[in-house]
Structure 1
Amino acid sequence: MLAAIGLDERQEAAYRALVALGAADVADLAHRLEVPEADTERALRRLESQGLAARSSSRAGRWVAAPPAVALGALLTQQRHELEQAELAAAALAQQYRAEAAEPAVHDLVEAVTGASAVAHRFRQLQLGAAREVCALVTGRPVAVTGPENDAEERAAGRGVAYRVVVEREVLEQPEGITELTAALGRGEQVRVVDRVPTKLLVADGTLAMVALVGGRGAEPAALVAHASGLLEALRGLFDAVWREAVPLRLGAGGRVAQGPAAGPDATDLEILSLLLAGLTDASVAKQLDLGLRTVQRRVKGLMETAGVTTRLQLGWHAYERGWVSRT
């Protein structure tokens, strides 16, 4: 938690231990932290340079913690000042860039990114730099960036960036697919499902787009980053077209489950219905929701009876008509 002021995990642990103990010598602190004494002493010297710890004046060899309110407050003030200076520098550079790029050359409108690490870094960078909205088309077989590795999405959504995501049906079949999508819905993201998306795509604030390039077998991952241009407009239009045709996904507490009448479907019914409309079979739905196959089939039959229909096709139509699911 104190990494923002320049402390690593060991230094933070040492400071927290000193605060809890009041004072300690290197040997005691090393034993408490379960690290070598040499590493503990280096951590204490780093804390001393930051004004967070000092050698005891009453007992040789012992260290004491500086009061957190004073010591951390000073460091935070310094960090805020440095951040403000960095923001001013960034604004000045952005203004200079806009002035010099008022009429950008054609080759400046598209950026080629090659290599798995470079693609993953640029993918994270676009999300972390977004201020308003991120739109994404997600394939079932990511090459350079996988769901668990993409912490940028959680961080961006956590600071208020809106997400609209369309995933391939194959994502729902993956071991962690439902878990990750439930977490995304829980962060307030809008998620829809289609049979297949045309390409891996990410659009940040409508001003930058990153589209995957598909090479031959064995070729390293590559992508194009499009700046303001006709290509960017085309990619935004592609996302909007896929979004309009996709089916909204709603999963338990993470989704915005529509409320029906008292005799209508419950939350589990709506999860089942959402996955069925996304194209999953009864068996796949049962597996993803950890339900028995007969339970799923019984609930589907109950939904059909509630809707007064005799086929699943009719059930899907009535689900939209009654507001159990929607495209909003």
Structure 2
Amino acid sequence: MLGAIGLDERQESAYRALVATGAAEVAELARRLALPEHDMEIALRRLERHGLAAPSPARAGRWVAAPPSLALGALLTQHRHELEQAELAAVLLAEEYRAESGKAAVHDLVEVVTGASTVSHRFRQLQIGAAEEVCALVTETPMAVTGPENKAEEEATTRGVRYRVVIEQAVLTAPGGIEELSAALGRDEQVRVIDKVPTKLVIADRDLAMVPLNAPAAEPAALVAHASGLLESLYGLFETVWRDAMPLALEAGGAVRAAGVPGPDVTDLRILSLLLAGMTDASVAKQLDLGLRTVQRRVKGLMEMSGVTTRLQLGWHAYERGWVARDAPRS
């Protein structure tokens, strides 16, 4: 628990033991924690450097604990300051990077990473650096690391990063596939399934995308695309696959099941028809005797249901799905 302020497990155990006893000799602490006295001496000296313990002035060989509220409070304040400075440095570097990216040469918009460990590291970096959303197309064979090894995904979802993942059918029958899917769904990730995905793909915040470069008898390699037309095309590919895929859900007993593609209700269809006829949100609300916020909320829900980000895309999606007819009479 105290690793965040620089203590390892042995040092934390020694400090906890000192706090519990108030004061103790090295030999006593070593017996209590089942450690060699030499190792305990080293741990206590490191606690002393942190200001958490000190040799007793009254008795040689005896150590006393510093008050936790005082000593730990000082360390926490120091680490908060260091984190604030690091956060400021990150913001400044991000601004500098964006400024340089705006005038980057074409060859700077893509990079090729080679080697299994390098690809795996870059894959984790994409997820660790994500702030809002990670989109992925997943095949039976992972891009870099398998689900149980992908701690970055778990950490990202804990930070509130949204995951939208499309898996191909073969993943459901792959060894450990159902267990990994259950874990992902348990973290509230949105997962859909389709017969076959066109390629492995990971996109972070629509800023970076990563696709594998497969060549026979070659070491693993991947292409990383920065903000560019290529990245937008890859994002468009993901959205197309996402719309055609079947959502998965977690049953009460923990089993994975197809949830069925959600569809609009009657009120949604009426709102869509009037909007496509050129009416404003306010006019639609008045026509259907609904609140303006209700109309806007339903439109937002339709966009999320369709996996689109603009109303223009929503109209196209509505026609493609047959939600509204192209020759429907205007209201």
User: What is the TM-score normalised by the length of structure 1?
Assistant: 0.75
1:274 aligned residue: 258
Cα gap change, 1:127 to 1:272, in 2 (>3 Å): closer
Query: For residue 229 of structure 1, what is the amino acid of its counterpart?
Result: S
Report SS of the residue matched to 2:192.
Answer: strand
The alignment status of 1:19 with 2:19, answered yes or no, reads yes
Tell whether the 8 Å contact from 1:136 to 1:203 is kept in structure 2 after alignment: yes
Cα gap change, 1:9 to 1:154, in 2 (>3 Å): same
Cα gap change, 1:272 to 1:26, in 2 (>3 Å): closer
Cα gap change, 1:185 to 1:272, in 2 (>3 Å): closer
- Separation in 2, partners of 1:203, 1:67: 48
Query: For residue 199 of structure 1, what is the amino acid of its counterpart?
Result: T
Tell whether the 8 Å contact from 1:134 to 1:163 is kept in structure 2 after alignment: yes
Tell whether the 8 Å contact from 1:11 to 1:47 is kept in structure 2 after alignment: yes
Q: How far is 1:132 from its partner?
A: 0.7
- Separation in 2, partners of 1:94, 1:273: 41
Tell whether the 8 Å contact from 2:29 to 2:40 is kept in structure 1 after alignment: yes
Point out the more displaced range, 25-34 or 142-151: 25-34
1:249 aligned residue: 248
Q: Deviations over 1:195-242 (max 9, x none)?
A: 22222211111111111111213x221111110111101110111111
Cα gap change, 1:44 to 1:86, in 2 (>3 Å): same
1:129 aligned residue: 129
Point out the more displaced range, 4-13 or 155-164: 4-13
- Separation in 1, partners of 2:221, 2:229: 21
- Separation in 2, partners of 1:173, 1:76: 48
2:216 aligned residue: 216
- Separation in 2, partners of 1:252, 1:16: 43
1:323 aligned residue: none
Extract unaligned runs of 5+ from structure 2: 262-304, 308-331
Percent identical pairs in the alignment equals 70
- Separation in 2, partners of 1:236, 1:142: 19
1:304 aligned residue: none
Query: For residue 23 of structure 2, what is the amino acid of its counterpart?
Result: A
The alignment status of 1:39 with 2:39, answered yes or no, reads yes
Query: For residue 18 of structure 1, what is the amino acid of its counterpart?
Result: L
Point out the more displaced range, 244-253 or 47-56: 244-253
Report SS of the residue matched to 2:167.
Answer: strand
Q: How far is 1:10 from its partner?
A: 1.6
Tell whether the 8 Å contact from 2:250 to 2:257 is kept in structure 1 after alignment: no
Tell whether the 8 Å contact from 2:48 to 2:54 is kept in structure 1 after alignment: yes
Report SS of the residue matched to 2:210.
Answer: strand
Cα gap change, 1:106 to 1:45, in 2 (>3 Å): same
Tell whether the 8 Å contact from 1:168 to 1:194 is kept in structure 2 after alignment: yes
- Separation in 2, partners of 1:272, 1:183: 10
1:62 aligned residue: 62
- Separation in 2, partners of 1:11, 1:62: 17
Q: How far is 1:143 from its partner?
A: 5.1
1:237 aligned residue: 236
- Separation in 1, partners of 2:196, 2:10: 47
Which residues in structure 2 correspond to 1:153-164 (within 5 Å)? 153-164=153-164
Q: How far is 1:272 from its partner?
A: 6.9
Which residues in structure 2 correspond to 1:99-118 (within 5 Å)? 99-118=99-118
2:10 aligned residue: 10
- Separation in 2, partners of 1:20, 1:116: 48
Report SS of the residue matched to 2:258.
Answer: helix
Cα gap change, 1:170 to 1:15, in 2 (>3 Å): farther
Which residues in structure 2 correspond to 1:292-311 (within 5 Å)? none
Tell whether the 8 Å contact from 2:249 to 2:256 is kept in structure 1 after alignment: no
Q: Deviations over 1:232-271 (max 9, x none)?
A: 0111011111111111111224xxxxxxxxxxxxx78xx5
Tell whether the 8 Å contact from 1:247 to 1:327 is kept in structure 2 after alignment: no
Tell whether the 8 Å contact from 1:248 to 1:327 is kept in structure 2 after alignment: no
Q: How far is 1:89 from its partner?
A: 1.7
Tell whether the 8 Å contact from 1:182 to 1:252 is kept in structure 2 after alignment: no
Cα gap change, 1:196 to 1:29, in 2 (>3 Å): farther
Tell whether the 8 Å contact from 2:248 to 2:256 is kept in structure 1 after alignment: no
Point out the more displaced range, 21-30 or 115-124: 21-30
Tell whether the 8 Å contact from 1:11 to 1:46 is kept in structure 2 after alignment: yes
Q: Deviations over 1:82-128 (max 9, x none)?
A: 11111222222222233333221011100111111111111111111
1:292 aligned residue: none
- Separation in 2, partners of 1:206, 1:105: 19
Point out the more displaced range, 19-28 or 132-141: 19-28
Larger radius of gyration: 2
Cα gap change, 1:121 to 1:273, in 2 (>3 Å): closer
- Separation in 2, partners of 1:249, 1:6: 42
2:226 aligned residue: 227
Extract unaligned runs of 5+ from structure 1: 254-266, 279-325
Query: Aligned residues, how many?
Result: 264
The alignment status of 1:94 with 2:94, answered yes or no, reads yes
Report SS of the residue matched to 1:250.
Answer: strand
